[in-house]
Amino acid sequence: MELDYFKDKLFDLLNDSEEMGIIDLNADERNNLFIVRTEDGNVFEIVCRKAAGKEDGWTTAN
C-alpha cells in the first residue's frame, strides 16, 4: 500500500466517524499531517510516514 492511498483512506475514516466528535479535520499534504479538532476543544496532529522493517524493529523509511 502506498502512503498517499493510506492517507486518503485515513482521511475518509476520520471524516466519516461521528463517534469521535471531530468538528474540524485539515490535511497538510506537504507535511503528511492531519490536524483534528474535537468537540471538547482538543487538537490532535497525526503524522503519516511509511515505515520500513518488521514488527520487532520498525524504522521510518526515508
Q: Dump pLDDT digits (tens) for 10-52.
A: 999 999 988 999 999 999 999 999 999 999 999 999 999 988 7
- What's the confidence (pLDDT) of residue 51? 82
62 or 38: whose pLDDT is higher? 38
DSSP reduced 3-state for 4:
helix
Please, what is the end-to-end C-alpha distance for the chain in angstroms? 16
All cell numbers assigned to 34 = 492531519
Q: Report the distance separating Cα 32 and Cα 41, nearest Å.
A: 23
Give CA–CA dist 28/4, Å, rounded: 12
> Is the separation of the CB atoms in 5 and 19 below 8 Å?
no
* Confidence at residue 61, expressed as pLDDT on a 0 to 100 scale: 63
Global confidence as pTM: 0.76
Residue 8 has pLDDT above 90, yes or no: yes
The ranges assigned to domains in the chain are 3-52
